[in-house]
A and B are shown apart, each in its own frame.
Chain A
Amino acid sequence: MKRNLFAVMTVLLVLIGLPAGLFGYQAWRTGQLAWAAGVRVVDIVARSPEQGGFAPDHLVLKAGEPVRLRISSPDVVHGLNIPGLGVDVKEILPGRVVEVDIKPEKPGRYAFACTRWCSIDHWRMRGVIEVKADAAHPAAQETQTAPLYQKLGVNLDAVWPMDGPRPAQTPSAERAAAASGGLPESLLDPSQRVATAPADAFRQLRADPAHSQLGDGEIWDQVAWAWLHDVKPETLSMAGSLYSRDCAACHGPQGKGDGPAGRNLPGMQKMDATGDGASPPAGPADFTDPARMLNASDVVLQGKILRGGMGTGMPEFGSLYTDDELWAMVQYIRTFLFQPAGK
C-alpha cells in the first residue's frame, strides 16, 4: 500500500501541482514587476487587422509613469513603432513576447502603428497612446499648426491637369550644378517653390529670355537642380527606409505603383480609370509617371502623405511622421523622376 500511496501522491502532485505551478509562475512573473519595481505592465496583442489589430489600441498612461509594454503576436510577424516615444520594435514574431520599457514624460497623444506588412489591411493597424498630464507634468501648450496645404488654401483633392511639358530624358541635378546660376528667387526659396509644380517651373524658366539658348533638357536639369540641390544623402537614405517600410508595399519598390498590396484596395473603384489623362488612374500613384508627378507641387504631395484620406486606401502619416520626415519623403519621391546631385 505504501508503494501505491507514493505513486498516487506523485501523480496528484503532477495533476494539481503542475497547473498551479505553471499559472502561478506566470502570475508571479508579471506581478513581480508591478509589485516590486512599481512598473505598470501593459500587454498588447498584435493581431492582423481583420482579427482586431492591436488590442488594446488605445492606452491611457500617466506622464512620468514607467510602463513595460509586453507585445506579442498570435498570427504573423508584426512591428510596433511609437515615434513620439522613441519605440521602434522591428519584429514581433508569432509566439514570442517582446518587452519594451517606456516612461513618457510629455503629456499628449502619441500615435503608434504596425511596421511589418501583416495583411492587406496592414495600413489600418494603428493605435494611440494618451499620456495624461498631472501637476508634475503639465500639458504642453496646444500648438496645433495647420498643415501647409491648408494655410496655402490648396485643394488636395482637386484633379489637376495631366498635360504639360515632359522631359525627354531623366533630368539630373548633377548636370545642372555647373550652370545653375540665374534661377529666380521663386524657385530658389523653398517656401515659394513649395507651391509650384515642376512643370510650371519649367514653363517659367523656358519663357525667361535669359535661358533662351538652353535646350529643353538643360532647362529640365535646372528644374531638377532647383528641387534637389540642397537634399542631403542622409535625408534620402532615411526617407528611403521609411519608403521601403511604409510605402513600397503599395507604391512598389521602384515607385511604379505596382506593389502587391496596392491591388484590390477598397478605395480603388473611386478612382476614375478612364485613362484620358484628365483624371488619375486607378491604383496607387506611379511616382515615375511624369504626367502625374511633374504637375503636382510639393505642398500637394506633402499634404497627401500627411492627410491621406482620398478614399483610396492611402493612409495618413501626419500622426506618425515628423515635419522633417514628411518633407524628406517628398524629396525622395522626386528622385523617382529627377536624379539628385552627387549621383
Chain B
Amino acid sequence: MRWAISEVPFVKRVLLGRWLHWSITAVTLTVFVVVILTGIFGTPAGNHNFGIVYVWLVWWALLKIVLVPFLGRFWCSVCPIPAPGEWLQRRAMIQPRPGGRLYTLGRKWPKFLRNIWAQNFGFLAVALFSALILTSPLVTGLVLLAFILVSLVTSLVFERRTFCRYLCPIGGFVGVYSQMAPVAVRIKDPAVCAGHKEKTCYIGSDAGYGCPYFNVPSKMVDNTYCSMCGECLRTCPKDNIAFYVRQPGADLLHTKGRRLDEAFNGLMMLGAAFVYSVVLIGPYGWLKATARAVGTPGWFVYAGVLLIFNAVAVPGLFWLCVRLGQALSRKPAARTGAGGARTPGRRDSLFADYAAILVPLGLAIWVAFTLSFTLINLSYAWPALSDPFGWGWNLFGTAQMAWTPYVSGLIPYLQVPLLLAGLVGAIALALRTARQHGQPAWSAVPVSLFCLAAVVGLLTLYLA
C-alpha cells in the first residue's frame, strides 16, 4: 500500500533539483559552525550555551520526535558533518561532474567493517561519555569537530559516504529506526531494472552520482541505509524510482533474514534508553556525578556496568527469550538455507529476526525518553539564540527570558500512549515473525513478555 508522492510534478521538480537538499544543508552547516564556536569559546554553563541547547535539546528533539519517525533517515541527507567532505569529494555542490566522478583516493572500506558494528560500538562509546558530553559545551564542540574531521578524511580517502554508512554512531540507530517511517524510496517496476544493465543508480552518470550509501536501488527493501537524497532518481534513465508514502513500518513485515548487527543495534538502543532513564532522569545524584567524572575509578565501574548491561545482559536476556520461545513451541527454527528476501545465502537467525520487534518498541521508548527532558528545557532555546556564547549579547531581545518548562503536566499523557503503541506493534511483529518462520505462536510469547517487561520497567522509572 503505497503512493508515489514524487510523481506529483511540483514535488518531482523540487526533489530532482539539488537546491532543496543543498539549501537545508547550508542552514544546518551554519548552525553547526555556530555550535562548534560556541561550544569551544562560549560559556561553560550548558543551559546558556548555543552548542548544548541546539544540539542536545533542539536538534535531538527534532530528530527523535519528527525526523526519524516521519521522514526516516532524511536527516542524513542534510547533515552538515558529511557535507564538506562530500562537496570536496565531488568537487561540486550543485552541478555534478561528468559521469558522477568522485575525486578520492578510492580506497575500499575493509570487508569486515561493512556492517554497522563500528556504529554500534561507537554509540556505546559515546554513551559512556554522555553525562559529560551533554553538560559540557567544550566537550560537545570538540566531539562534533572530531566527527566532521573524521568524516572529511574518510570522504577523501574512501568513496562516497563511508562515514555515514559505516562509522557514524547516529547513523546506526537512525537507519534501523527509519524502517518505521511512512516514507520510502523504492523502484517502481523490478522488470525495468532487470533489463537495465548499466545500473547508473549505483555507478553514477552525467546526471548525478551513484548512491552515496552504497545501495543498489533495485535490491533495496528497507530504509535502513537510504537517506532519501534523491541521487538515484536523478541518475535513473528509466524514471523507475520514486519517493513513496507508505504504511509505517512496512520494512519490518518481511521478518526473515535480518542482520545480526542491526539486531544488536536495536537491543543496545533499548538498553541505552534504560541506562539514560536511570542515570539522567532518575533521582540518584551520586550516580550522575559518577557518570560525569570521566577517568575516576567510580566512572570505570560505571562504564563497565553500562557496557556489560548493554552489550551482554540485554542481548543475552533477549536471546534466552528466543530460546525459551523455541522450547515452548517444541519446534526448532526452520533452516531454509537460501535465506529470506533480504540477504540471500544468509542462514536464518531467529534471534536477529525476533530482535526486529525492538524497532517499533525502541523508537517509541526513545521518543518517550526524549519527551521527558526536551519539552521541559526547550525554553533555553530563546536566550541561547540571542546570546549564543553567553557573552552578554541580546541579538533578538530574548536573552533574559527565564526558564519556562513547557507542558510539564502533559508529558506522562504523551509517553503512555506512545509506549503502549510501541508495545502492541512489537508484539504484533513478534507473532508475525513466528508465523513466517513456521513456528507456533507460543514461540513469540517470551519475547513479547520481554517487551512488556521493558515497558513496565520504563513506566516504573518515569511514573513510580
Measuring CB to CB, which residues of chain A are less than 8 angstroms from any residue of chain B? 1, 3-4, 6-8, 10-11, 14-15, 18-19, 22, 25-26, 29, 70, 72-75, 93-97, 99
Contact = CB atoms under 8 A, between A and B. Distances in A.
Nearest to B43: A95
A256 to B, nearest CB: 26
Nearest to A15: B33
Contact of A96 (B37, B87, B95, B390): B390
B34 A22 contact: yes
Contacts of B26: 7, 10-11, 14
Contacts, number: 78
Interface in B374-391: 383, 387-391
Given A22-B34, A72-B392, A96 B387 contact: yes
28 contacts: A1-B95, A3-B93, A4-B95, A7-B93, A8-B87, A11-B26, A11-B93, A14-B29, A14-B30, A19-B37, A22-B388, A26-B391, A26-B393, A29-B393, A70-B392, A72-B43, A74-B43, A74-B45, A75-B45, A94-B45, A94-B48, A95-B45, A95-B48, A95-B390, A96-B48, A96-B383, A97-B392, A99-B392
Q: Is the interface of A mostly helix, strand, loop or mixed?
A: helix
B456 interface: no
Interface of B: 22, 26, 29-30, 33-34, 37, 43-49, 84, 87, 92-95, 383, 387-393, 399-400
B182 to A, nearest CB: 31
A6 B92 CA distance: 11
A4 B400 CA distance: 41
Nearest to B46: A95
A22 B387 CA distance: 11
A314 to B, nearest CB: 29
Nearest to A7: B93
Contacts of A25: 393
B33 A96 contact: no
B56 to A, nearest CB: 15
Nearest to A8: B93
Q: Give the interface centre of B49, B383, B388, B389 by most chain A CB atoms within 10 Å.
A: B389
B94 A18 contact: no
Nearest to B92: A4
B174 to A, nearest CB: 24
B33 A18 contact: yes
A96 B383 CA distance: 9
A97 B93 contact: no
A7 B22 CA distance: 8
B399 to A, nearest CB: 7
A19 B22 contact: no
A97 B47 contact: no
A164 B87 CA distance: 88
Q: Give the interface centre of B49, B92, B94 by most chain A CB atoms within 10 Å.
A: B94
Contacts of A99: 392
